[in-house]
């Protein structure tokens, strides 16, 4: 299941880059006697523009490039309060509560930074290999990737200030590379240990020790904006889930997965997008709205790709709700569009739209330059739900997509709506 990036509107198909990555995965060894910075510099010096294949962003990435050995259980959340009773009579923390604890942490981080405006985008320089020219080139490469795979959003980022624009590109590239590890052409060769190494490499990025050029762009970004590492860790956790979990017993389980692989993007992006100075909404409510957009996008992905996922042996639909509708996994794998299926899909689409509605309330609270690309993404992704309905809920053999004319008509609408300033009260954004 692909990550539902906030800005992904119509990503191109994955393109295999050959066997270089496969061979390096099998090798799993770093060239002895060479430190990380020297390898990074050498790669940049040797790597002309033509060597970067954006069809597979991890092209040429050695298995050992994912970092050193790492231990740990991959736990992402500090379980706190809001206990609920489980069917077994035990007390457990709901996924929504777990995620909201992370939301509160991210919002608190931003508020601390905002109390010291001079520190918002100017922090001590990190130690980067190479020079400023190489760092600028790294950001340019990230921009090329964004332009290739998220054309509409890329155009919107051009309205942002240069620093914010480049930071969004860097985050986009890291998310895409992470997703490609488990959902790209070489996914069958990725192991939990490889993801552990990728997470260790993430720690290095946040510590100012990037391994390659694309890492360097993100490392610089997180040194300049109040971006916390937790959502990035959580996205890696979502990739781990895709390696072993192919069924979700209820929406609570599915919600947590959607947060991991998509809601995290919203939490990563808000510190970059910025909240409008005139906004009276609470920081937590803006973060909640960005989280809702990620959840909505991922639910839409799931509903659009039911047939495609079934052919891979996966069902990203709540099992208990399927049973309540009189449906089973056999119905999914058989691809039968029945009245029961239509009724079930209507309820699933209704839920996704509620998340979109919540998200839309938060877009107006973002800085003026950030509203258009986010709102365009929201409106276009929400239209996929309309297309599923237009296909008579046949998401087994027909892929719902928004036509190019409809996209072109949506962009000016999104732009006009993005000009509406935040409301002077915070009543429109309620906490959930």
- pLDDT tens string 182-197: 887 887 888 999 999 9
Q: Are 417 and 380 in contact (CB under 8 A)?
A: no
For the chain, residues with pLDDT lower than 50 are: 4-55, 59-60, 62-91, 114-130, 424-427, 430-432
Structural domains in the chain, sorted by start: 104-114+128-419 (1.10.600.10)
Burial 17-55 (b: 16+ CB within 10 A, else e): beebbbebbeeeeeeeeeebeebbeeebeeeeeeeeebb
Residue 60 is predicted with a pLDDT of 45
For 252, the token pair is 């609570």
Q: Which of 218, 202, 222 is nearest to 74 (CA)?
A: 202
| pLDDT attached to residue 73 | 38
**How many Å apart are CA 395 and CA 34, to the nearest integer?**
51
pLDDT, residue 139, reads 94
Both structure tokens of 273? 């997008």
350: which 2 tokens?
A: 């209704």
Picking from 391, 382, 377, the residue whose alpha carbon sits closest to that of residue 10 is 377
What rounded mean pLDDT belongs to the chain? Answer: 77
Neighbours of 295 (CB within 10 A): 27
Backbone dihedral angles phi then psi of residue 71, each to the nearest 5 degrees: -120, 170
Helix (H) or strand (E) holding 308: helix 306-310
DSSP classification of residue 93 = E
Report the SS3 class of residue 320.
helix
Torsion sign (Cα): 358, 364, 370, 376: positive
For residues 264 and 175, give the distance between their C-alpha atoms in angstroms, rounded to a whole number: 10
Q: What is the pLDDT of residue 112?
A: 63
pLDDT of residue 95: 81
CA distance 231 to 202: 11
Both tokens of residue 110?
Answer: 């931003």
The answer to whether 275 and 367 have CB atoms below 8 angstroms apart is yes
Beta-bridged to residue 93, according to DSSP, are 83
Total number of residues shown for the chain: 432
Contact between 296 and 381 (Cβ < 8 Å): yes
Q: Which two tokens stand for residue 13?
A: 């198909």
* pLDDT at residue 426, rounded to an integer: 46
pLDDT tens for each residue of 69-97: 333 333 333 333 333 344 444 445 788 87
Phi, psi of 170 (to 5 degrees): -65, -40
The structure's pTM equals 0.75
Integer Cα distance of 295 and 289 in angstroms: 10
CA dihedral 186, 26, 144, 261 (to 10 degrees): 50
Report the C-alpha gap between 100 and 94 in whole angstroms. Answer: 10
């Amino acid at each position: 299941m692909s990550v539902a990036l906030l800005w992904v509107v119509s990503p191109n198909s994955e393109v295999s880059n050959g066997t270089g990555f496969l061979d390096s995965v099998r090798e799993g060894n770093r060239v002895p006697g060479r430190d990380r910075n020297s390898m990074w510099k050498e790669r940049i010096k040797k790597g002309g523009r033509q060597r970067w294949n954006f069809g597979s962003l991890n092209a040429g990435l050695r298995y050992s490039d994912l970092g050193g050995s790492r231990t740990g259980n991959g736990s992402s959340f500090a379980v706190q309060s809001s206990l609920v009773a489980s069917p077994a009579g035990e007390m457990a923390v709901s996924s929504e509560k777990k995620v909201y604890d992370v939301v509160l942490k991210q919002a608190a981080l931003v508020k601390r930074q905002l109390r010291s405006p001079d520190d918002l985008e100017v922090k001590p320089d990190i130690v980067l290999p190479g020079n400023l020219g190489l760092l600028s080139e790294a950001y340019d490469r990230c921009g090329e990737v964004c332009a290739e795979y998220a054309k509409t959003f890329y155009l919107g980022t051009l309205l942002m200030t240069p620093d914010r624009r480049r930071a969004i590109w860097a985050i986009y590239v890291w998310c895409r590379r992470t997703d490609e590890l488990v959902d790209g052409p070489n996914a069958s060769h990725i192991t939990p240990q490889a993801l552990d190494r990728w997470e260790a490499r993430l720690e290095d990025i946040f510590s100012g020790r990037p391994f390659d050029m694309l890492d360097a762009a993100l490392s610089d970004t997180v040194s300049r904006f109040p971006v916390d590492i937790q959502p990035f860790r959580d996205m890696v956790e979502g990739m781990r889930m895709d390696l072993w979990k192919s069924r979700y017993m209820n929406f609570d389980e599915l919600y947590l997965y959607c947060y991991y692989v998509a809601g995290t993007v919203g939490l990563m992006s808000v510190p970059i997008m910025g909240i409008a100075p005139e906004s009276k909404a609470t920081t937590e409510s803006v973060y909640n709205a960005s989280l809702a957009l990620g959840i909505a996008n991922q639910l839409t992905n799931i509903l659009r790709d039911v047939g495609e996922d079934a052919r891979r042996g996966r069902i990203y639909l709540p099992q208990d709700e399927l049973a309540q509708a009189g449906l089973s996994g056999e119905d999914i794998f058989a691809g039968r569009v029945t009245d029961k299926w239509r009724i079930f899909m209507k309820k699933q689409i209704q839920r996704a739209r509620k998340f979109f509605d919540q998200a839309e309330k938060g877009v107006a609270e973002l800085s003026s330059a950030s509203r258009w690309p986010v709102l365009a993404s929201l409106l276009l992704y929400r239209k996929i739900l309309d297309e599923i309905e237009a296909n008579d809920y046949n998401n087994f053999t027909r892929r719902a997509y928004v036509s190019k004319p409809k996209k072109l008509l949506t962009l000016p609408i999104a732009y006009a709506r993005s000009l509406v300033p935040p409301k002077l009260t915070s009543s429109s954004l309620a906490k959930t």
